[in-house]
């Protein structure tokens, strides 16, 4: 996923012209299948304040000498998705075919990929920041800090018995851990990018699993498959459910007004083309 990389919209554009551009962006990219008209007030599109910290490609190039490396002057952040390690099972990002096999954990795999990619990018002149360099959360709030929030989501047991209390406690524990390691982790990483690292571009790395193959008997067969679905995702195509979330709407307004769409699309296409060479 790429985040906030692009150019300001020209401040000299008339408000009417801006509104038309915003509507086109919403219909074509940001919410083509959602009812954004009922969730965004018209005034928000013309009064929202644009904010960014990144530099445009043109600005980076003007600060670079012809003799410098191709990515010189560019600050990239790499986000090795998920956490891995002892938290992989909570994330639902691990599997093993046989009980004696070492588990395959996405968080650990993408961290290795991020380290390799970081070395390559630095060799090309870029400054690179990893959001994490070990298989542990960066969220400073442990699961116990989410006790009250988790308790508000789970109904109290309907009967007083050890079995019911144990089931309630286990459900509470699962929710607390997920709020810390999944939801809270994502929020903390976004805060780090927005407030601390502030790179020219953020690339989040993920390795998704293919479905288990199905045998002639219709049952899933637990075996590895040769499958490659490399792709690049950029911010957009929000659903009605996502637009009903206040934070998502705020993020959408930022993306609309900071002019990042064209550059994100260009960078995404370049990444996709590069990935296709190795697929």
Tokens standing for residue 30: 């940001």
12 vs 237 pLDDT, higher one: 237
Average pLDDT over residues 98-104: 90
Tokens standing for residue 108: 């650990």
pLDDT score, position 10: 27
Mean pLDDT, the chain, integer: 85
7-40, pLDDT tens digit by residue? 222 223 333 334 447 888 889 889 999 999 888 8
Confidence of residue 84 (pLDDT cuts 50, 70, 90): very high
CB 221 within 8 A of CB 172: no
Sign of CA dihedral 137, 138, 143, 147: negative
Q: Position of tokens 């800090």?
A: 145
pLDDT score, position 224: 84
CB 170 within 8 A of CB 150: no
Confidence of residue 118 (pLDDT cuts 50, 70, 90): very high
Instruction: Say how many domains are in the chain.
Output: 1
The tally of CA atoms less than 13 A away on the side-chain side of residue 48 is 24
Residue 173 lies in a domain: no
Residue 239 lies in a domain: yes
Residue 82 lies in a domain: no
130 vs 158 pLDDT, higher one: 130
Question: What is the 3-state secondary structure of 207-270?
Answer: CCCCCCCECCCCCECCCCCCCCCCCCCECCCCCHHHHCCHHHHHHHHHHHHHCCHHHHHHHHHH
Mean pLDDT is lowest, of 47-51, 136-140, 207-211, for 47-51
Residue 266 lies in a domain: yes
List the domain range (segments joined by +) for residue 218: 9-54+205-279
Q: Which residues contact 213 (CB under 8 A, 6 or more apart)?
A: 220, 221, 223, 225
Residue 171 lies in a domain: no
Residue 117 lies in a domain: no
4-9-13 Cα angle (round to 5): 160
pLDDT score, position 95: 87
Sign of CA dihedral 193, 194, 195, 197: positive
φ/ψ of 75, rounded to 5, equals -110, 115
Percent of the chain exceeding pLDDT 70 equals 89
Residue-wise over 191-201: b if at least 16 C-beta within 10 A, else e?
Answer: ebbeeebbbbb
φ/ψ of 60, rounded to 5, equals -65, -40
Full-prediction pTM beyond 0.75?
A: yes
Tokens standing for residue 141: 């709030």
Residue 241 lies in a domain: yes
Average pLDDT over residues 151-172: 91
Average pLDDT over residues 131-138: 96
Residue 246 lies in a domain: yes
pLDDT over 60 at 184, yes or no: yes
pLDDT score, position 148: 95
pLDDT over 70 at 205, yes or no: yes
């Amino acid at each position: 996923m790429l985040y906030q990389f692009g150019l300001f919209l020209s401040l000299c554009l008339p408000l009417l012209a801006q509104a038309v551009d915003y509507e086109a962006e919403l219909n074509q990219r940001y919410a083509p299948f959602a009812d954004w008209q009922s969730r965004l007030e018209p005034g928000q599109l013309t009064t929202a304040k644009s904010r960014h910290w990144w530099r445009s490609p043109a600005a980076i190039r003007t600060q670079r000498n012809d003799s410098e490396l191709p990515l010189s002057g560019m600050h990239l952040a790499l986000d090795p998705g998920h956490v891995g390690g002892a938290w992989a099972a909570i994330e639902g990002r691990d599997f093993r075919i046989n009980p004696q096999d070492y588990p395959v954990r996405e968080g650990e795999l993408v961290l290795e990929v991020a380290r390799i990619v970081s070395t390559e990018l630095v060799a090309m002149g870029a400054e690179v920041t990893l959001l994490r360099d070990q298989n542990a959360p960066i969220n400073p709030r442990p699961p116990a800090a989410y006790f009250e929030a988790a308790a508000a989501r789970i109904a109290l047991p309907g009967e007083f018995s050890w079995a019911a209390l144990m089931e309630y406690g286990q459900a509470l524990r699962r929710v607390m851990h997920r709020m810390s390691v999944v939801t809270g982790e994502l929020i903390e990483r976004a805060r780090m990018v927005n407030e601390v690292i502030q790179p020219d571009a953020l690339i989040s790395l993920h390795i998704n699993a293919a479905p288990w193959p199905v045998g002639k008997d219709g049952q899933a067969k637990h075996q590895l498959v040769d499958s490659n679905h490399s792709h690049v995702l950029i911010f957009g195509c929000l659903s009605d459910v996502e637009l009903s979330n206040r934070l998502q709407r705020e993020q959408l307004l930022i993306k609309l007004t900071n002019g990042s769409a064209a550059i994100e699309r260009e960078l995404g296409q370049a990444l996709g083309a590069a990935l296709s060479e190795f697929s």
